[in-house]
Structure formats: C-alpha cells, structure tokens
Amino acid sequence: MSPLRNVSVTDSCLICGEPLPAGRPRKTCSDGCRQALWRQRHQSTIKHSEMSVIRPGKARTVYECPVCDVRILGEQRCECGSFMRKVGLGGLCPCCDGAITVEELLAT
C-alpha cells in the first residue's frame, strides 16, 4: 500500500480540541478559547507571592478599633464586636509583634 499524499490534516484547538476553522493559521477555534489560552500562559508565570505584593489585601492591612483602640492586622471586626477602621498597609512590628503601618515604621 502506498502512503497517502496531499491529505488534509486538520489541527485541533489547544484548549477544547475542536477542529480549527479554515483560513489563517491559528492555535484556537474561537475568541473564548483564545482568551483561555492567554490566561493559561500568563497566570502560570505569576507566582502567588508576587500577587500579594502587586495587590495587597486584608492580610497586609492594619485596622484600629474606635472603641477599644486595639490594632489588629487583617481583621475588620474587633473582639468587642465593633467594626474597625482601616489605618493603612503594614505588618507586625519586629520588636513587639504589634500591628504597625508602613508610614509609622518609616517615621521612626
């Protein structure tokens, strides 16, 4: 038996496996799969530790209770039950392990 020649081989989409449409060369079958491939490529290069530096969240925010004057890192409710106000970005003090903002640390 002789080998087949000039047989069209249809490539498949890298995301869903569907056949690719005719026309220009492409890797995905639709805009949705193209976006999913882009997200897959770019999210795998961003590490979790870098994300917390880019977008600081509650875990890096210092809150202060207006009733008790207690500062807590990352919690919006005080032990007394009142809602705490946001003071700023910060962390735990290396000396006393109390919540301290970046501005306060740089001022000292």
Q: What is the pLDDT of residues 23-60, one digit of tens each?
A: 888 889 999 999 998 888 877 555 554 444 444 456 78
- Same domain flag for 16 and 39: yes
pLDDT of residue 2: 55
Provide, rounded to the nearest whole percent, the portion of the chain with pLDDT above 70: 76
* pTM across the whole model: 0.46
Report CA-CA distances (Å) from 1 to 6, 7, 38, 49, 80. Answer: 16, 15, 43, 59, 85
- Same domain flag for 64 and 103: yes
- Categorize the per-residue pLDDT at 7 as very low, low, confident or very high, splitting at 50, 70 and 90: very low
pLDDT of residue 50: 47
- Asked if residue 74 belongs to a domain, the reply is yes
β-strands 99-101, 85-92 pairing: antiparallel
List the domain range (segments joined by +) for residue 82. 55-107
